[in-house]
Amino acid sequence: MARGASAFPSLSLISAALILLTFTSGGTLRSVQAQKTWCVAKPSSEEATLVANINYACSQVDCSISYQGFPCFYPDTLISHASIAMNLYYQANGRHYWNCDFKNSALIVTTNPSFGICVYT
């Protein structure tokens, strides 16, 4: 009986190792992480919040893609420019959910928000 009881820890250890190996070598966990996501401004966000988001994000990353004469200038709206800036920040910082909070004024989406010649990375 003692011999059978000692087999359980070994079996548990082997099972845990197989599960870890599966996740780290292309199993379900890797597939979830590979799903592309983007960060966009919530439509209900206040203008002052969007301006603050643009100012913060663009102080951390290059937002020139949204400047006049560049691909993402149009539509020339606050929510569009904020979404571009927020997404650039989110992408540059590893696509972690906490990099797309912006004081609860942002959403993580799985549908690519690119349009026309404006390509969201």
Q: Give tens-digit pLDDT for 29-78.
A: 444 456 899 999 999 999 999 999 999 999 999 999 999 999 999 999 99
- 115 DSSP 8-state letter: B
pLDDT at position 35 is: 87
pLDDT at position 121 is: 87
Find tokens 């006049």 and name the residue: 68
Q: CB of 44 within 8 A of CB of 119?
A: no
Q: Coil, strand or helix: which one is 26?
A: coil
- Among 11-25, 78-92, 101-115, whose mean pLDDT is lowest? 11-25
Cα–Cα distance measured from residue 9 to residue 3, given in angstroms and rounded to the nearest whole number? 11
Tokens of 83: 């979404």
CB atoms within 10 A of CB 38: 21
